[in-house]
Amino acid sequence: MESLISEWGGESVIIRFDRPTSAWMIIAIHSTRLGPATGGTRMKPYPNLNDAVEDALKLAAGMTYKFAVIGFPRGGGKAVIAVPHDFDNNKRADLLRRYGALIQQLGGLYETGPDVGTSPEDMDLISETGEPYVFCRTSEKGGAGDSAPHTALGVFSGMLAVSEQLFDNPSLAGKRILVQGAGSVGRILINMLLEADTEVMFSDVDQDTIYHFRNTLNLTYIPAEDVLHTECDIFSPCALGGILNRETIPRLECRAVAGAANNQLAEPADALRLRDKKILYAPDYVINAGGAIGIVGLESMGWSVKEADKQVMSIRQTLRQIFEVADSERITTDEAARRIAESRLAGVAS
């Protein structure tokens, strides 16, 4: 773990053992150059503490680039609550309150919202001891609620830039789009795409979700084993990360990848593999930034819903810039996004 943290390049890592539950709280502060470190709280079991810390470090660095590339005044951070595999859910509320107290002790160094395994209702509990450093509380508790609608809006906006780059026309009408994962974000995105007259296909593992979209809305269902080699204009991963790797990329039958899932590339070299296959990649930490932009803007920056939507839709302009840099410099879109982010970070640091 020592080498993992020392080679990371971030600012600090806070690790606390919660004795009543045997859970580990890890808060990774990657950068505060642009503002307070901000990121979600992930809560789930891990094989070991090292894996939990590694996940927090990687996700925190991603948040730094997410905010920097879009020019948003926040730094990168992420929290992981690694619970035991036999975690007693009756102890959840008190665990979250103790975690909130830890955030409060940091005095604004880190601000958080929901992530995998947590919800707006959980943010209500965390805010009891951690306010004012908690976002995405329920509307009943004065928060802006779920970030999924803004995340989906950002992905939709990014798809307009992708369509413009591929077809010289931002319209998505008639385009074949495969959404992998019809959960909280994917479900909203599918509805937006249907309103835009796209030909939507979907894949999911939940039987109720499959029934809704296949039997009620008459959408084409693609079994999980067929997703990668299904021909489409845009493949939109909205489930788990790591879907793009040396084994899966050669099987892809799409012209672009643009989805909400985090950490879609298994390794940096996968961006080059996509480019070599002539598949346009919208970097995930850019196109899925809408949730963070919208919620922080609404709850911390005094934005109206209209202003939040406008700012989220600016993801389209950010991706345009990324595509232009990638073309002119003959680099991958992932590298182009990182160059833009690093330039902004260096400008603040100088």
* Proportion of the chain above pLDDT 90, given as a percent: 88
Does residue 350 have a pLDDT over 60?
Answer: no
Q: Which domains does the chain have, with CATH numbers?
A: 2-63+75-141 (3.40.50.10860), 148-288+317-342 (3.40.50.720)
- Can you give the pTM of this predicted structure? 0.89
pLDDT of residue 307: 96
% of the chain with per-residue pLDDT over 70: 99
Q: Can you give the three-state secondary structure of the chain, one letter per residue?
A: CHHHHHCCCCCEEEEEEECCCCEEEEEEECCCCCCCEEEEEEEECCCCHHHHHHHHHHHHHHHHHHHHHCCCCCEEEEEEEECCCCCCHHHHHHHHHHHHHHHHHCCCCEEEEECCCCCHHHHHHHHHHHCCCECCCCHHHCCCCCCHHHHHHHHHHHHHHHHHHHHCCCCCCCCEEEEECCCHHHHHHHHHHHHCCCEEEEECCCHHHHHHHHHHCCCEECCHHHCCCCCEEEEEECCCCCCECCCCHHHCCEEEECCCCCCCECCCHHHHHHHHCCCEECCHHHHCCHHHHHHHHHHHCCCCHHHHHHHHHCHHHHHHHHHHHHHHHCCCHHHHHHHHHHHHHHHHHC
Q: Which of 78, 91, 278, 306 is catalytic?
A: 78
* Residue pLDDT, tens place only, 1-44: 788 888 899 999 999 999 999 999 999 999 999 999 999 999 99
Q: Mark whether 78 is an active-site residue.
A: yes
How much is the pLDDT for 348? Answer: 62
